[in-house]
Amino acid sequence: MRVFIVEDDQEAAAYMVKGLKESGYVVEHVADGREALYRVAAEAYDVVVVDRMLPSVDGLTIVKTMRSAGNQTPVLILSALGDVDDRVKGLKAGGDDYLVKPYAFAELLARLEALLRRGRSDAPGTLLKVADLEMDLVGRTVRRAGQTIELKPKEFALLEYLMRHAGHVVTRTMLLENVWDYSFDPQTNVIDVHVSRLRHKIDKGHDKPLLSTIRGAGYSLRDSN
């Protein structure tokens, strides 16, 4: 799941980004309201977290602009303004939820999960399937042949990316940039370690392996039939 954060407080943003990445989300962050408007118009996100007070363009204007353009991506508004009138203004602007600062990360995460369930549960694309392997993006569960597979957050994010690109070769650079969000280091073995663990979890005990290493190229998740 892709989370877009618009927050000009660098410390607060780093706190959110770190926590969400550790929880298995792919996160993008900008600090400027005008840049945020460009991003939400050009990119597709699963949920947007926007601070109310921002440089250039304020958070409520961002939400109003999104809604007027027909963008119905769930939005969580963050603000130190916590009076009833302030919360009402945020919701009337088009926000789906309003969280007052300071907040506990556990509450932020719970509210995002609730927005994802509410906003995407009936939408196509929330269930990924390759052969008998299924991933529920909203419920954040994985099953193969009906059996639940327990994955750590980073393993879940890795498998989600592989399933979204099923049948294609995914390079180590692609995984580092899209799952780990940092530049390619040819010396790191973080990808190999995680892929090995993931392969063990999804293929062990099954006659047909789904996750393959393509020598000299990368990895591929595909139906062996």
Q: Are residues 61 and 157 in the same domain?
A: no
User: CATH code at 156?
Assistant: 1.10.10.10
pTM of the model: 0.65
Q: Are residues 149 and 111 in the same domain?
A: no
pLDDT tens per residue, range 50-82: 999 998 899 999 999 999 998 989 999 999 888
Structure tokens, 142: 């994985």
What b/e sequence results for 59-92 when a residue is b if at least 16 CB atoms lie within 10 Å of its CB, and e otherwise? bbbbbebbeeeebebbbbbbbeeeeeebbebbee
Q: Are residues 90 and 134 in the same domain?
A: no
pLDDT tens per residue, range 141-183: 999 999 999 999 889 989 999 998 899 999 888 888 778 766 5
Q: Are residues 101 and 28 in the same domain?
A: yes
CA nearest 100: which of 87, 85, 119, 116? 87
Domain end (from 120, 150, 185): 120
How many structural domains does the chain have? 2
Q: Are residues 15 and 97 in the same domain?
A: yes
Domain of 176 in residue numbering reads as 127-221
Q: Are residues 112 and 133 in the same domain?
A: no
Averaged pLDDT of the chain = 88
The percent of residues above 70 in pLDDT, for the chain, comes to: 93
User: CATH code at 22?
Assistant: 3.40.50.2300
